Amino acid sequence: MPRILKAQLKTVKEKNDRLNPDSAWVTQNRKKLMSQINNTVSEDKPRFRFDYVWQAINIFVPGRLAYSVVRPTAIFILVGAIATSGWIASVGATQNCLPGEVCYGVKLAAEKTQELVTSVAGAKDQQAQMHLEFATRRAKEVKKVVENKEDDAPQRAAEAMVKLEKSIQTANEVIKEVVETEPEKIVEVVKGMQETAKDINQTLTAAAEQGGKDVDVAGTKQIVKDSSLDIVQTVVQKNKDDSGVVSDEDAKTIVKTQIDVAMQDTGDMKSKAEDTVKVLETAPVTSNNLPSDVVVSVSSTILISTSSIQVVVSSTTPIVLPTSTIKDVLGDVSKQAIAQGQESQKTLEEAKVLVEGNHLLEAISKVKDATQAAEQAERTVVEVKKAVDAVNSGVLNNTPIPATTTTIKTEIK
Amino acid sequence: MKDVINEKLLLYKVRIKRDPEAYGLLYDLYVKKIYRFIFFKISSREEAEDLTSEVFLKAWNYLVENSEQEIRSFASFIYRIARNLVVDFYRERAKRLPESSLDAVVETLAVEEAGGEHRLMISGEVEKIMKTLKKMKLEYQEAVLLHYIEELSAGEVARILGKSQINVRVTLHRALKKLKELLEKNRIE
């Protein structure tokens, strides 16, 4: 009976027309309803919300399973994904931030976090690699800041360079720890350091060429070079004291690389000095038709010597010299720099011979001497170039040259 | 299963995209069921039509204005609206009959409904069943109507009536037993 009763109940809606609505009314009411709801639909589509994703999933997942298992799991996964991707996206978005920008702090904070995590969980060689990477980033920032040519570019570049120097110094300290604690990894780490130093120097040189006289990268370049050389010396000394830390072949390779880098830098400096001399030789300047004289601010003793004039100046007071004299002096200074470059190259060649004879520490000492001399000469070339640019622009434009801020600190005899 | 997914998809389109066409399809699926549910309680064709229209309009407004609210089943959602509107309908009637209390009016209406089966043009076994069903208490009527006549699952009936599934199963069992007893009693008489 119950089964028959149930079957009869099922058929009630089909067998009893009175229970069902009039089909004409159904159609008419549909039209009316559509008209009413169409009036309530605005042009603006609803904005996306996170729970829409859940509602979409719920279409295909059975209700109970969805609510008891899939939903908590999905929420867990999505929250995790959003948190992770949010962090990655935020930090990723700051990668192009430069000093002076608001987001630059976020970039540095992300690096600090990375530094903290690596200091707890990472090996020393990884820490060193990380600090070298940070230093490379700072160098690229200097270049980008200069390329953007904003008014405060020199200050922003200086800010990045201070941080670059700090990263290099930290890397230096960590690498020295690697030498003591994980000597088996030292060759790879030192090679990484040398490569980084080379890249940074190239980047900073390019930045200085674009930035002109206001962007001074010489000091930072020197710190990077010295740091690299210091590490090489530490490794070679360690190898000598504690034989077998690195193979002789590896030690030689590291020192040779350092010599090659110094040779390259010296060659570059010489080329610049030679270019300056050529510019001076072709400049259409005579002492009689100059529009004005050039004011040179001298802050240390300088001996100015030409074939016709010999002046010794020892003053911090700006002095006025005829442009033709300045031109001659600058030419002489450049030639001195070229001579210094040649001397450094000679010293480096001697270092190469010492390496072949396995006198690595002596070779490094030579590299240091050559590097310091070349660096000093390069500073001189940079200053001379600034002065040459000032003289040329004044003469070619036929306008009075404003007092230059050129300061020649090197003592030239 | 396919129908369930289709219905959920339509509901999703209505809520997220405010798609009137999707709502039109949901209307096609449910208009007869809702009408039958209301008509069974009110027994007046015109009033059942008005209330059915109102149910669908209210449902649309709720869906688009509360898209963050969770709606597991469109069936239980629309039946609940229909049920509430029927209650409102009775309240309105009570106001129009101030001498009587609401309970009295509802009771009166229940009696009227019980005696109003003459409005249903039914015949044979079905006629007897419907007449008998109308004589049962409201709780049994609703459970039998939704589960056996409209073929909704016990879970959906539970959500519409605001009861637990076990409670609904017990009610259905008792209602069917009672219906059977009454039908047998009528047969003897």
Tell me the pLDDT tens digit for each residue of B35-61.
Answer: 999 988 887 889 999 999 999 999 998
B76 and B1 within one domain: yes
Angle at CA A261, nearest 5°, toward A180 and A246?
30
> What is the reported pLDDT for B107?
47
The two three-digit tokens of residue A239, written as one number? 């190898």
User: Which residues of chain A does B180 touch, with a Cβ-Cβ cutoff of 8 Å?
Assistant: 1-2, 5
pLDDT attached to residue B12:
83
What's the average model confidence in pLDDT over A273-292? 61
Residue A312's DSSP bridge partners are A303
- Summarize pLDDT for A213-256 with one digit per residue, the tens: 677 888 888 888 888 888 888 888 888 887 777 888 888 888 99
Q: Which residue of A6, A9, A20, A39 is the best one to mutate when testing the B interface, meaning the one whose CB has the most B CBs within 10 A?
A: A9
Count the Cβ atoms, other than its own, within 10 Å of residue B11.
22
Give CA separation, B32 vs A25, A275, B7, B134, B181, in Å.
11, 95, 16, 20, 30
Please give the share of chain A, as a percent, with pLDDT higher than 70.
68
Same structural domain, B73 and B127: no
The tally of domains found in chain A comes to: 4
Mean pLDDT, to the nearest integer, of B2-23?
80
Residue B56: its pLDDT value, please?
93
The CATH code of the domain that includes B105 is 1.10.1740.10
Which chain B residues have a beta carbon less than 8 Å from that of A52? 16
A302 and A384 Cβ atoms separated by less than 8 Å: no
Average pLDDT, chain A: 75
Domain of residue B160, residue span:
120-189
Q: Is residue A273 part of a domain?
A: yes
Q: Are residues A275 and A227 in the same domain?
A: no
Nearest to A215 by CA among A291, A161, A254: A161
Q: pLDDT category, A117, cuts 50, 70, 90?
A: confident
Residues B47 and B113 in one domain: yes
Pair A276, A402 in one domain: yes
Residue A30 pLDDT: 92
pLDDT attached to residue A400: 43
Burial B157-167 (b: 16+ CB within 10 A, else e): bbbbbebeeee
pLDDT at B27 over 90: yes
Residues B155 and B137 in one domain: yes
pLDDT over threshold 50, residue B109? no
pLDDT at B112: 46
Q: Is B163 on the interface with A (CB under 8 A)?
A: no
Confirm whether A247 is domain-assigned. no
Give the pLDDT of residue A410. Answer: 42
Query: Is residue A62 located within the same domain as residue A30?
Result: no
Same domain as B130, residue B115: no
Please give the share of chain B, as a percent, with pLDDT higher than 70. Answer: 82
- Contact list in B for residue A18 (CB cut-off 8 A) is 119-122
CB contacts, 8 Å: B15 with chain A: 55
Q: Are residues A221 and A332 in the same domain?
A: no
Choose among A2, A9, A26: nearest Cβ to B144. A9
Predicted confidence band of residue A279 (pLDDT cuts 50, 70, 90) = confident
CA B54 to chain centre: 14
Residues A173, A313: one domain?
Answer: no
Average pLDDT over residues B17-39: 90
On whether residue A389 sits in a domain, the answer given is yes
Q: Give the pLDDT score at A180.
A: 82
Which helix (H) or strand (E) is A87 found in, with range?
helix A71-93
Proportion of chain A above pLDDT 90, given as a percent: 4
Question: Is residue A32 located within the same domain as residue A64?
Answer: no
pLDDT at A57 over 70: no
Residue A399's pLDDT band, with cuts at 50, 70 and 90, is very low
Does the distance separating the beta carbons of A34 and B24 come in below 8 Å?
A: yes
Residue B122 has pLDDT above 70, yes or no: no
- Tell me if A406 is assigned to some domain: yes
Q: Which of A3-17, A166-180, B34-48 has the lowest mean pLDDT?
A: A3-17
- Report which of residues A396 and A128 the model is more confident about: A128
Residue A110 lies in a domain: no
B8 reaches A (C-beta below 8 A): yes
Shared-domain flag, residues B64 and B105: yes
ipTM value greater than 0.85: no
- pLDDT surpasses 80 at A63: no
Average pLDDT over residues B21-41: 90
Which pLDDT tens digit goes with each residue over B129-172? 888 888 888 889 989 989 988 888 898 899 888 889 999 999 99
A120-129, A146-155, A284-293, B47-56: lowest mean pLDDT where? A284-293
Within this chain, do residues B101 and B138 fall inside the same structural domain, yes or no? Answer: no
For chain B, the domain total comes to 2
Lowest mean pLDDT among A43-47, A90-94, A371-375: A43-47
**A322 or A338, greater pLDDT:** A338
Residue A64 is predicted with a pLDDT of 60
CA distance linking residue A234 with residue B123, whole number of Å = 109
Where is the domain boundary, B75, B98, B119?
B119
Query: Is B102 found in the same domain as B15?
Result: yes
Is A101 inside any structural domain? Answer: no
Based on the fold, state whether residues B136 and B83 are members of the same structural domain: no
**Mean pLDDT across A365-376:** 85
Is residue A408 located within the same domain as residue A298? Answer: yes
The answer to which of A55-64, A155-164, A181-190 has the lowest mean pLDDT is A55-64
Smallest CA–CA distance from B176 into chain A, residue: A2
Residue with more model confidence, A256 or B117: A256
Which pLDDT does position A67 carry in this prediction? 61
Answer yes or no: do B114 and B152 share one domain.
no
Q: Which residues of A68-88 are buried (b: 16+ CB within 10 A; e: fewer)?
A: eebeeebeeeeeeeeeeeeee
- Band (pLDDT 50/70/90 cuts) for residue A113 is confident
Given B119, B143, B162, the domain boundary residue is: B119
Domain boundary among B73, B101, B119: B119
Domain contains A113: no
Identify the CATH number of the domain in which residue B161 sits: 1.10.10.10
Is B50 in the same domain as B112?
A: yes
Calculate the CA dihedral of residues A351, A355, A359, A360 and round it to 10 degrees. 90
Q: Is residue A260 part of a domain?
A: no
pLDDT of residue B171: 93
Q: Is the predicted pLDDT of residue A77 greater than 90, yes or no?
A: no
With CB atoms and an 8 Å threshold, state whether A21 touches B35. Answer: yes
Q: Which residues of A touch B (CB under 8 A)?
A: 1-2, 5-6, 8-13, 15-22, 25-26, 29-30, 32-34, 36-38, 40-41, 45-46, 49, 51-52, 55-56, 58-60, 63, 67
First to last CA, chain B: 45
Q: Which residue has better confidence, B20 or B7?
A: B20
A302-305 and A310-313 beta bridge pairing: antiparallel
pLDDT higher at A403 or A234: A234
**Which structural domain range is residue A36 located in?**
1-40
- Structure-model confidence comparison of residues B77 and A308, the more confident one: B77
Residues B126 and B92 in one domain: no
Q: What is the mean pLDDT of residues A396-400?
A: 42
Contacts of A30 in chain B (CB under 8 A): 24, 27-28, 31
